[in-house]
């Protein structure tokens, strides 16, 4: 019999990944994936960048690079993050193969089998899978409309069998909840963690995708606040603001954490793709990034507003939801005890898919909610698909 490692038993296939093959089937309208619209990629700009490269730059793009990233991209990304108010001078940037690799590396740096860590409920499935792969015990803390439930966070830290190794959270346009953490909750979170030797993993891939200019002041990151007494490990990605096929993310972390993470990355893939890094660097330096993100922000807002309108017209009143002000997702709360898997089955029969709530529950139990995304479907598909989901909900819930 083939003898696998014991850690394999902790890996579970993501329901989102399982749905991807179905989502690409002819005639299926998918509200499942958190991916940019294929029709929105900056193909002309990327062509222009590649065609402008010198022979030497193309050679660099085809070659191995340093583990922490190509010097040119580190320099341009440093300026990009500095403009967001992040403390790049007192931290180190590492380029990673997507932000999920950054999360994975940080988990590997902190977690021994059986260690406890703290996560939001609901939470990003990719991070949960990474934490489980290192045999972490997950302590879950529920969320409210403006962020984590602070009293429960305090209680769960105090009652944990051992001090949690870190707290993982996503501050802006949360996946899947769609919320923005309020400044008050961020400040309270800082006070709870200060001096506790519990690092904060701040996963931020959606902040640039706000719909309303007046919200920009609400999007200050804890990493940008640079609080004393907390190691804040910040992760980000080009996936939502340029293209996930580049497979490029980053971490911005204190020096003593960076040193361990660089060693871990060396053992995983030696370096992230140089070709992608050359393109991303030129995209930043050329100024394409600001223009492009501004354009897609408007399109995502257009799609979101269309979905809001369609949901208001078609959903029964017992389904509760908030209108996100950016990002990719809407989180629907069904009547307590509803099994959204039954709704999914009926929706698939009718030609559309979404993601069930238990996918994002660290305990894998609560299933009376569901995530729908507007990022990868145009307005026409939204207007056609949302009534199908609403009908499936009514058939299950009455």
pLDDT digits (tens, 9 = 90+) for 322-371: 999 999 999 999 999 999 999 999 999 999 999 999 999 999 889 999 99
Same domain for 150 and 114? Answer: yes
Do 185 and 274 form a contact (C-beta atoms < 8 A)? no
Mean pLDDT rounded to a whole number for the chain: 95
Tell me: do 273 and 310 sit in the same domain.
no
Q: Residue 161: CB partners within 8 Å, gap ≥ 6?
A: 116
State pLDDT tens for residues 363-392.
Answer: 988 999 999 999 999 999 999 999 999 999
- The residue out of 231, 252, 287 marking a domain boundary is 287
pLDDT confidence of residue 23 = 56
Domain final residue, candidates 271, 287, 303: 287
Return the biggest CA–CA distance within the chain.
65
CATH of the domain at 246: 3.40.640.10
124 phi and psi angles, rounded to 5 deg: -65, 125
Do 237 and 362 lie in a common domain?
no
Pick the last residue of a domain from 239, 260, 287.
287
Cβ(362)–Cβ(123) below 8 Å: yes
Report d(CA 150, CA 143) in Å as an integer.
Answer: 9
Mean pLDDT of 159-183: 97
Assess if residue 100 is contained within a domain: yes
Based on the fold, state whether residues 162 and 100 are members of the same structural domain.
Answer: yes
Does the pTM exceed 0.85?
Answer: yes
Q: Is residue 296 part of a domain?
A: yes
176 token code pair: 């899947």
Mean pLDDT of 282-301: 96
The radius of gyration computed from the CA coordinates of the chain, to the nearest angstrom, equals 21
Neighbouring residues of 283: CB distance < 8 A, sequence distance ≥ 6: 42, 45, 46, 49, 242, 289, 292
**How confident is the model over 299-319, as a mean pLDDT?**
98
| Bridge partners, residue 172, by sequence | 180
Domain that holds residue 302: 6-42+290-397
The pLDDT value given to residue 175: 97
Same domain for 238 and 338, yes or no, is no
Q: Is the pLDDT of residue 146 over 90?
A: yes
The answer to the question of residue 47 being in a domain is: no
The answer to whether residues 201 and 152 belong to one domain is yes
Round to whole Å and give the CA distance between 245 and 239.
7
Using 50, 70 and 90 to split pLDDT, how confident is the model at 398? confident
In percent, how much of the chain has pLDDT > 70? 96
Q: Is residue 245 part of a domain?
A: yes
Q: Are residues 280 and 147 in the same domain?
A: yes
**pLDDT confidence bin for 24, thresholds 50/70/90:** low
Q: Are residues 283 and 294 in the same domain?
A: no
321 in the same domain as 299: yes
Residue 247 falls inside a structural domain: yes
Q: What is the 3-state secondary structure (H, E, C) of 139-171?
A: EEEEEECCEECHHHHHHHHHHCCCCCCCEEECC
> Sorting pLDDT into bands at 50, 70 and 90, what band is 93?
very high
Angle 327-136-170 from CA coordinates, rounded to 5°: 15
**352-353 and 249-253 beta bridge pairing:** unpaired
What would the two tokens of residue 34 be?
């958190």
Domain assignment present for residue 345? The answer is yes
pLDDT (tens digit per residue) in 211-252: 999 999 999 999 999 999 999 999 999 999 999 999 999 999
The answer to whether the beta carbons of residues 94 and 102 sit under 8 Å apart is yes
Residue 264 near residue 89, CB atoms below 8 Å: no
DSSP SS3 for 349:
helix
Q: Which residues contact 384 (CB under 8 A, 6 or more apart)?
A: 29
Please indicate, yes or no, whether residues 24 and 82 belong to a single structural domain of this protein: no
* Domain total in the chain: 2
Cβ atoms within 10 Å, residue 265: 25
The DSSP H or E segment spanning 128 is: helix 125-133
CA dihedral 181, 283, 105, 177 (to 10 degrees): 30
C-alpha 340/C-alpha 334 separation (Å) is: 8
CATH number of the domain encompassing residue 328 = 3.90.1150.10
Q: How high is the pLDDT of residue 27?
A: 81
Same domain assignment for residues 136 and 279: yes
In a domain, 260, yes or no: yes
With respect to residue 28, please indicate whether it lies within any of the assigned structural domains. Answer: yes
CA atoms within 13 A on the CB side of 308: 12
Shared domain for 269 and 330, answered yes or no, is: no
Describe the chain by its helix, strand, coil percentages, rounded to 5: 50, 15, 35
DSSP code of residue 332: E
For a pLDDT cut of 90, what percent of the chain falls above it? 90
């Amino acid at each position: 019999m083939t003898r696998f490692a014991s850690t394999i038993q902790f890996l579970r296939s993501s329901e989102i990944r399982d749905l991807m093959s179905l989502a690409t089937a002819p005639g299926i309208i998918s509200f499942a994936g958190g991916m940019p619209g294929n029709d929105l990629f900056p193909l002309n700009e990327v062509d222009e960048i590649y065609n402008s490269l010198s022979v030497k730059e193309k050679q660099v793009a085809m070659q191995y690079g340093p583990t922490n990233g190509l010097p040119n991209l580190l320099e341009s990304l440093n300026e990009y993050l500095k403009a967001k108010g992040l403390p790049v001078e007192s931290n180190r940037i590492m380029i990673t193969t997507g932000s999920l690799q950054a999360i994975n590396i940080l988990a590997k740096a902190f977690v021994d089998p059986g260690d406890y860590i703290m996560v939001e409920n609901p939470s990003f499935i990719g991070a949960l899978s990474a934490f489980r792969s290192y045999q972490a015990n997950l302590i879950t803390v529920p969320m409210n409309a403006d962020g984590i439930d602070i009293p429960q966070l305090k209680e769960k830290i105090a009652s944990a069998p051992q001090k949690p190794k870190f707290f993982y959270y996503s501050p802006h346009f949360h996946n899947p909840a769609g919320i923005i953490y309020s400044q008050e909750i961020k400040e309270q979170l800082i006070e709870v963690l200060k001096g506790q030797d519990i690092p904060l993993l701040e996963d931020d891939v959606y902040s640039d995708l706000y719909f309303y200019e007046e919200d920009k002041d609400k999007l200050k990151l804890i990493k940008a606040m640079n609080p004393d007494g907390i190691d804040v490990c910040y992760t980000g990605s080009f996936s939502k603001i340029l293209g996930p096929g580049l497979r490029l993310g980053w971490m911005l972390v204190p020096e003593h954490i960076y040193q361990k993470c660089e060693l871990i990355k060396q053992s995983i893939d030696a370096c992230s793709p140089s070709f992608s890094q050359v393109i991303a660097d030129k995209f930043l330096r050329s100024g394409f990034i600001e223009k492009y993100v501004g354009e897609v922000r408007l399109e995502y807002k257009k799609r979101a507003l269309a979905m809001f309108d369609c949901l208001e017209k078609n959903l029964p009143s017992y389904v509760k939801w908030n209108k996100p002000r950016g990002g990719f997702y809407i989180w629907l709360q069904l009547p307590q005890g509803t099994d959204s898997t039954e709704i999914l089955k009926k929706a698939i029969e009718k030609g559309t898919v979404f993601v069930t709530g238990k996918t994002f529950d660290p305990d894998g139990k609560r299933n009376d909610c569901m995530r729908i995304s507007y990022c990868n479907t145009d307005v026409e598909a939204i207007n056609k698909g949302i009534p199908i989901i609403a009908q499936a909900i009514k058939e299950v819930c009455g």
